[in-house]
């Protein structure tokens, strides 16, 4: 009769300990930055093919985040109008950079009224820890209002809000209008190691010794 070898038994114990002792951090969805829900819709910024609004935010040190979507509260977004929503780089000055890091697919317009529109990225994008980014919004066709609360709603979240700029043509100016929005992402975490409970180690050890005992008796028989 074939018997289990000592090495096979020990390998099984070792594998069991690895399964018990190791794991992966749970995925955690997070608000990167945002100020939704809004207090009201009494303010905002009209955007057209020549007008731009850009909001800056800086991620903290630590883990990176995978972009999920961006939510913008828009008014008067009608069929035929085409928002242009992007994540852009920062070049160290007061204005957004020219490099487009992430683009979004536009949701279906709902016309008159204020609505929260979810813009989904056209491809994967990762926010790097400790890096500054810009949410850049304009229009390639028509115009619409990017709503804001008349009582200032300062954006909060994992990232730190780093300022707002309004662009007309090629020039940007400071803005104190914090438009209603939210950027959602998923934290990227790596594997973690943990120490098995002493009771688990003891149980597996006894199990291994038992198998070795069975092997010994079979060899004697």
pLDDT in tens, 125-153: 999 999 999 999 999 999 999 999 999 99
Strand, coil or helix: what is 8?
Answer: helix
Contact 62, 129 (CB under 8 A): yes
Assign 199 a pLDDT band (cuts: 50, 70, 90).
low
Looking at per-residue pLDDT, the higher value among 201 and 161 belongs to: 161
Q: In the predicted model, what is the mean pLDDT of residues 23-47?
A: 88
Looking at per-residue pLDDT, the higher value among 207 and 198 belongs to: 198
The β-bridge partners of 65 are 127, 187
pLDDT score of 68 more than 70: yes
Nearest to 145 by CA among 80, 48, 38, 30: 48
Most confident stretch, 18-22, 69-73, 169-173: 69-73
Give residue-wise pLDDT tens across range 85-130. 999 999 999 999 999 999 999 999 999 999 999 999 999 999 999 9
Question: What's the CA gap between 77 and 79, in Å, rounded?
Answer: 7
pLDDT score of 215 more than 60: no
| Half-sphere exposure (Cβ direction) of 115: Cα atoms closer than 13 Å | 14
Looking at per-residue pLDDT, the higher value among 220 and 37 belongs to: 37
């Amino acid at each position: 009769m074939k018997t289990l070898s000592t090495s096979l038994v020990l390998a099984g114990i070792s594998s069991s300990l690895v399964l018990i002792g190791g794991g992966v951090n749970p995925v955690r969805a997070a608000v990167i930055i945002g100020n939704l829900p809004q207090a009201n819709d009494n303010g905002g910024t009209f955007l057209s093919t020549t007008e731009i609004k850009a909001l800056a935010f800086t991620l903290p040190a630590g883990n990176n985040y995978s972009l999920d979507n961006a939510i913008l509260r828009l008014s008067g977004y009608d069929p035929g109008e085409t928002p242009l929503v992007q994540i852009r780089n920062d070049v160290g000055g007061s204005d957004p950079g020219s490099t487009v890091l992430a683009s979004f697919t536009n949701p279906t317009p709902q016309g008159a009224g204020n609505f929260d529109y979810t813009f989904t990225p056209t491809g994967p994008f990762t926010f790097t820890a400790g890096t500054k980014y810009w949410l850049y919004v304009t229009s390639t066709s028509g115009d619409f209002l990017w709503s804001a609360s008349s009582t200032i709603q300062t954006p909060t979240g994992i990232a730190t809000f780093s300022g707002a700029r309004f662009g007309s043509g090629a020039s940007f100016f400071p803005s104190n209008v914090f438009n209603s929005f939210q950027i959602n992402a998923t934290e990227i975490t790596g594997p973690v190691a943990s120490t098995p409970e002493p009771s688990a180690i003891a149980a597996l050890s006894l199990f291994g010794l038992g198998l070795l005992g069975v092997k010994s008796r079979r060899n004697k028989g």
